Amino acid sequence: MSNIKHYVPEMVNELTRIIVTTRNDNPSIEAYDAVVPGEWKRCQEVQALVQAGQIPSADQLRTVLSSVVKMLRVKQVPEAEIRGRIDEAFARCEQGLYPVDRAAVEAGVWT
């Protein structure tokens, strides 16, 4: 019997990981500061619920996804890369801790 614990991706964590691991290419500190801190706070509020053992709703996941997309755009990440990173997060979470209805989560985010 193995004592190795397998990492099971959790959607909120996967989405916020994208922000932490993405370089900021925006030369404007003001533009960054106008968006990123507030959006990051929204993500952390949902993350706190997950850490407390709650399964996030589609609305809460949409909030996080929307915030992540906004932050990546402010970091001047190309749209194709943003979509690719989000696709990767959804793919990693297909066998995750709880079911994620991608269509419901993405509703209205890509505008």
pTM of the entire structure? 0.90
pLDDT band at residue 3 using 50, 70 and 90 as cut-offs: low
Question: Is the CB of residue 72 less than 8 Å from the CB of residue 50?
Answer: no
Q: What are the pLDDT digits (tens) for 65-86?
A: 999 999 999 999 999 999 999 9
- 3-class DSSP assignment, residue 89: helix
Structure-model confidence comparison of residues 54 and 96, the more confident one: 54
Residue with tokens 């749209």: 79
Q: What are the pLDDT digits (tens) for 22-55?
A: 999 999 999 999 999 999 999 999 999 999 989 9
Structure-model confidence comparison of residues 9 and 31, the more confident one: 31
Question: Is the CB of residue 83 less than 8 Å from the CB of residue 73?
Answer: no
Handedness of CA 90, 91, 95, 99 (dihedral sign): positive
Amino acid at 44: Q
